[in-house]
Amino acid sequence: MPYQTAFERYRPATTQVEDALRDSRAAVFWLDDLARPDRPVLTGAHTADLVIVGGGFTGLWTAVRAKERDPERSVILLEGQQIGWAASGRNGGFCDASITHGEENGRRRWPSEYDQLERLGLANLDGIAETIERYQLQVEFERTGELEVAVEPHQVAWLAEEDGFLDADAVRAEVNSPTYLAGVWHRHGTALLNPARMALELARVATELGVEVFEHSHVTGIDRGTPLRVRTERGWVDAAQVVLGTNVFPSLLKRNRLMTVPVYDYALVTEPLSAEQLAAIGWQHRQGLADLANQFHYYRLTADNRILFGGYDAIYHFGGKLKPTYEERPATYTRLAEHFFATFPQLAGLRFTHRWAGAIDTSTQFCAFYGTAAAGRIAYAAGFTGLGVGATRFAADVLLDLLSGAKTERTSLEMVRRRPLPFPPDPIAAVGIAATKWSLNRADHNQGRRNLLLKTLDAVGLGFDS
């Protein structure tokens, strides 16, 4: 392709990248050395009003919100491994107000109710901030907003009409990178937090509110009698209602087996920056950052002034399989390190300490879908597509509304009532995903011009960009 992106034009020396990665560990920064309370394994027979399957953000928020709504309701949460070990503890910690994967995606799919969805999303982020304050959650919460940056000339026009437009000098005064041509600082719609600590703190609050939390209690099935029986490898729970928050993992409901596909996302974290290194890049307002390419990067400062740098590659494996071996992908980590130093050449010599990956539960509408089963006694949400840190709290309220049977503003939304299209089975899905990824990469190398495949996907409601 004749056109080179900024990350190719500013590519650093191979030896610099190799040196920066040499001592990095295959470990999730957020989960590394995290102190965890001992939690029991479910054994034998139990009963509860509500059983929640999954100890990530969806399940944890549902547990907390269920007890806040009805303190007398008995709630059991079952986690197959450990609280927050999967996507909820591995992401970048961007807590976004959007429940539609951004304005463009929301307006394209639900134009008549987008303003309502935006209002509900902002109220949901306010609710997260209020919960953190009320329970004094130690989660490194910073409501600093997100800075979107144009790194190619054609992207500048995408930002030029937005409020708060920053030209090259203004955006580089916020964060200094030679790749930045323009930007917009969305000040109120994004917060940053430590996602693993958020998961553990929500589990703490849930326990204090009376929820019984069991780890290493993999759910093997649900018997649809009266009551429902949720079976694990060593016991069961009889319950009136069940919430499924299994997200990227195979659904316990056959109807949802093709509703999501797992796509692996990768990230690096640096050693802490010195005062001189911080001064070289600015970043005094500590915003989250993302560029505007189809294959985009997200990055941020941690509480101890490391830089987390992730995104770009999104890897699907044939059959939708989930394997720990998929997390070690040297070519991707090398590419991320190259793009990091292309973005911040003034940080030459900085080293990466952690590298890791996690699987995203991608749906064809690129945000969560909802539904019920077993005559309204089972509720589920999945398909957050990388924006679940904030949207899972909204999902928890939707799920509890659905189980209540009451008509609410949330359950009346078309976004909640309408199921997205499922993915086709492999090999069709694998071919389609590969062709789409190739096309997105080609668009990034062709000044944003979308080919026939991408235009067709846009026309039928399956299009995606950052």
Nearest to 422 by CA among 248, 252, 258, 254: 258
Report how far apart, in Å, the C-alpha atoms of 456 and of each of 112, 154, 158, 436, 437 are.
22, 22, 21, 11, 14
Spatial CB neighbours of 443, under 8 Å, sequence gap ≥ 6:
294, 449, 450, 451, 454
Q: Where are the domains of the chain?
A: 6-30+146-161+262-362, 44-136+193-260+364-417, 429-459
Report how far apart, in Å, the C-alpha atoms of 15 and of each of 157, 307, 337, 352, 356 are.
36, 21, 11, 14, 21
Cα Rg of the chain, angstroms: 22
Residues of the chain with pLDDT under 70: 1-2, 460-466
Query: Could you check whether 6-30+146-161+262-362 and 44-136+193-260+364-417 share the same CATH topology?
Result: no
CA separation for the pair 249, 231 (Å, rounded): 17
| CATH code for the domain defined by 44-136+193-260+364-417 | 3.50.50.60
Do the strands 297-301 and 288-291 form a parallel or antiparallel pair, or are they unpaired? antiparallel
CA separation for the pair 195, 199 (Å, rounded): 6
Token reading at 421: 């299209």
State the architecture of 6-30+146-161+262-362 in CATH terms: 2-Layer Sandwich (3.30)
Structure confidence at residue 443 (pLDDT): 83
CA angle 114, 115, 120 (to 5 degrees): 95
Global model pTM greater than 0.75:
yes
